[in-house]
Amino acid sequence: MAQVAALELRSVDLQSSRNNQEHHTQEMGLQRLIVRRSQSFTIQLHFSRPFHSGTDHITFIAETGPEPTELLGTRATFLLTSARQGNVWSASDFTIDANSLSVSLFTPASAVIGPYTLKIKISQGQGNSLTHLLGTFILLFNPWSAEDDVYLPSELLLQEYIMMDYGFVYKGHERFITPWPWNYGQFEEGIIDICFEILNKSLSFLENPSKACSQRNDVVYVCRVVSAMINSNDDSGVLQGNWGEDYSRGLSPLEWSGSVAILRQWSAGGGQPVRYGQCWVFAAVMCTVMRCLGVPTRVVSNFRSAHNADANLTIDTYYDQNAVMLPTQKRDKIWNFHVWNECWMIRKDLPPGYNGWQVLDPTPQETSSGLFRCGPASVKAIREGEVHLPYDTPFVYAEVNADEVIWLFGGGQALEILAHNISSIGKEISTKMVGSDQRQNITSSYKYPEGSLEERSVFMKASRKMLGSRRASSPFLDLLGSGGSKDQPAQLQLHLAQTPEWGQDLLLELHARRVADRAHPQGPIRLVVRFCAQTLLHSGGTRGPLWRQKVHLTLDFGEEIQRSLSLPYNNYKNKLTDEKLIRVSGIAKVAETGRSMLVLKDISLEPPHLAIEVSERAEVGKALRVHISLTNTLSVALSHCTMVLEGSGLIDGQISNDLGTLVAGHTVQIQLDLYPLKAGRRQLQVLISSKELKEIKGYKDIFVVAAGAS
């Protein structure tokens, strides 16, 4: 019997284009193989002769990470079989066509994610074998597979939380919420490689590379590593935080429009942290990384967000008798807004019922197991006050539920409680609505309605768990029992008399009404109201006073009076931060009782409006004329104006222009041509910055048709 010639491998076709489309990775390109676990992909092998399944024996070998081993799950060897062998690495369902062999490869839902090498070992008989490199592929989480821990059973949600490469971050103030367009760009060239570079620069990888790689099958582990690596407090993380006002050694956080430039700069710099980020930048970059890795992710903004460092569920704020908000030595604060992420996953490490959205926060606020990171904390656990469940649930619970106690301070001590607010923290929790540019309020997923029996019951349950042995001597719980501030003989409110515009005097009205109280049920009262205006910082703190005023009032029973107040532009110009927020506070001393009352008004000054128009139909590769106009509605010139355009699928990287000075009352018109790179829904983001205003931002949604589409 003639001896059959040895089977020799001649060429390989990884069929990247077809496989990537079937695995929803085509947006990352079609030139290399990028697949998702728990889903088959097909490759074609070309041999020197036809493959004989009875006598030819081939073994596939897939490896990832340094020193891969089967014990760690970073190496898999599997034989060619006629049918798939369950949820394990397998090569099956093969077809033979002349000298070609088409094989379906399957990766289990528990496989480690990362870049793999794929090899084939051909047995030659008498124990001899030859091993060939077939190529490389990248393996990602698979939210389309019911077997994967990140499974999300809705194509509409998957299109939003995996495939959408732009969105909005919500900023500002609970009463002046601003959508901030952001280019996530998770499918841009090289971003997938940078994501694994981030994992490879983590402390856990540097300490034990083989073990760190082996844990990348676990979405909880990967999320915690990324949360730590987006900030640079402990490691060669992506971003350096800066909450001051000196950004001369980098870029102001307000001048970023997307994640791609940040990630590319970090990678090109060999892991040097990019300067600078604040919470919305940290969260937006983490969203890019997690969506790229295959984990459904969204960006969430919490307005009036507590940073409760001592975990006592109360934040103390202090004012003096002149209505000046005082700085505090405590690390506790109430951010105007704080931004974090939610990632969708099954939590096998928790009791049943806590799957779904999990909070992850890459902004460095507190350490978790020794590193600056936060989460994943189950949103359902937060809502139910189950603060004992990992990870960092007490901290996130306090961010949305802490009580605020406002004190009058004088002579080195707290004199009286001006207000005890049980519902002023955790307001308007927001994310982008699915399939829409609108904002969605998701506060109800974090807590029961404020003041409801369920909400107070959950709050007391959480406080018992968090305060523990401190509970018996907790001034906070004493305060809960005392009912906080007592009746007052008047009601005070501050209103804006007209829309506040930066560069104009601000006009306010004080409304005062005499009401009955136990101490003074009737008769007139005399009030001295001292007003103060201060720059309100993103951190919730303030700068020194920029305006003061004193008003004397006499209020008879049932009487309501109004007083006009004017805050001149000259008082606040050059004194505000980039956020352009002012807090006006008033302390009213009641002559008859000697007690004090507080009235507050936060004012947000709107920047000029940016208009973007697109004249023609957008088509891949064809010139698209864009018209951008900005009218300086302020009373002062805007100097050193620069414009940055960004938009995945529309622009490769960024387009920057210097616009010079824009005189007050004048309009600048810009026309330019873009050449769209990809079909589908896209978003053009335009940011104009000046010395006076950092965040004049606009966007335009553009639908791009494929080249040659009729």
Whole-number percent of the chain with pLDDT over 70:
96
Question: Tokens for 195?
Answer: 């994501």
d(CA 325, CA 323): 6
Spatial neighbors of 73 by CB under 8 A, at least 6 apart, are: 110, 111, 112, 214, 217
* Per-range mean pLDDT, top range of 207-211, 489-493, 706-710: 207-211
Higher pLDDT, 578 or 74: 74
472: confidence class by pLDDT, cuts 50, 70, 90: very low
DSSP annotation string for 201-239: TSHHHHH-HHHHHHGGG-HHHHHHHHHHHHB-SSSS-SE
**pLDDT tens digits for 240-278?**
999 988 999 999 999 999 999 999 999 999 999 999 999
User: pLDDT value at position 482?
Assistant: 46
Relative to beta strand 596-604, strand 542-555 is: unpaired
d(CA 418, CA 574): 31
Residue 455, marked binder: yes
Question: Tokens for 240?
Answer: 């350096």
* Average pLDDT rounded to a whole number, residues 562-569: 96
Place of tokens 């394990």: 88
For residue 688, give Cα distances in angstroms to 84, 399, 614, 641. 56, 33, 18, 7
85: confidence class by pLDDT, cuts 50, 70, 90: confident
Size of the chain in residues: 710
Place of tokens 């009401």: 515
**pLDDT tens digits for 474-493?**
555 555 444 444 678 899 99
* Average pLDDT rounded to a whole number, residues 584-612: 93
Cα 413–Cα 416–Cα 422 angle in degrees, nearest 5: 115
d(CA 627, CA 298): 31
Smallest CA-to-CA distance from 306 within 481, 388, 455, 427 is with 427
**pLDDT tens digits for 651-672?**
999 999 999 999 999 999 999 9
d(CA 553, CA 363): 46
* Per-range mean pLDDT, top range of 94-108, 515-529, 595-609: 94-108
Residue 207, marked binder: no
For residue 195, give Cα distances in angstroms to 67, 114, 191, 226, 260. 21, 10, 6, 9, 11
pLDDT of 382 > 80? The answer is yes
* Average pLDDT rounded to a whole number, residues 700-710: 90
**pLDDT tens digits for 392-416?**
999 999 999 999 999 999 999 999 9
User: pLDDT value at position 477?
Assistant: 52
Q: In what order do the strands lie in the sheet with 490-496?
A: 490-496, 506-514, 560-567
Q: In what order do the strands lie in the sheet with 596-604?
A: 542-555, 525-536, 581-590, 596-604
Kindly list the catalytic residues: 279, 338, 361
pLDDT of 700 > 70? The answer is yes
Place of tokens 């409760």: 308
Q: Are 23 and 32 in contact (CB under 8 A)?
A: no
Q: Are 372 and 233 in contact (CB under 8 A)?
A: yes
d(CA 408, CA 320): 6
pLDDT of 290 > 50? The answer is yes
**pLDDT tens digits for 516-556?**
777 666 778 999 999 999 999 988 889 999 999 999 999 99
Q: What letter does residue 540 receive in the DSSP assignment? A: S
Q: What letter does residue 187 receive in the DSSP assignment? A: T
Rounded to the nearest 10 degrees, the angle between the axes of helix 453-467 and helix 393-401 is: 140
Question: Tokens for 525?
Answer: 């009262």
pLDDT of 36 > 80? The answer is yes
Residue 245, marked binder: no
d(CA 323, CA 585): 6
d(CA 45, CA 12): 5
577: confidence class by pLDDT, cuts 50, 70, 90: confident
| Mean pLDDT of the chain, nearest integer | 93
User: pLDDT value at position 483?
Assistant: 44
Residue 403, marked binder: yes
Higher pLDDT, 317 or 124: 317
* Average pLDDT rounded to a whole number, residues 287-308: 98
The SS3 of residue 366 is: coil
End-to-end CA distance of the chain, in Å?
63
The SS3 of residue 569 is: helix
d(CA 397, CA 599): 28
Question: Tokens for 428?
Answer: 């308007």
pLDDT of 78 > 70? The answer is yes
φ, ψ for residue 147 (rounded to 5)? -85, -15
CA 620 to chain centre: 30
Q: Are 50 and 102 in contact (CB under 8 A)?
A: no
DSSP annotation string for 445-497: HHSSPTTSHHHHHHHHHHHHHHHGGGGGG-HHHHHHHHTSS---SEEEEEEES
448: confidence class by pLDDT, cuts 50, 70, 90: very high
Name the H helices within 345-482: 379-384, 393-401, 443-446, 453-467, 475-482
User: pLDDT value at position 484?
Assistant: 44
Smallest CA-to-CA distance from 167 within 57, 50, 283 is with 283
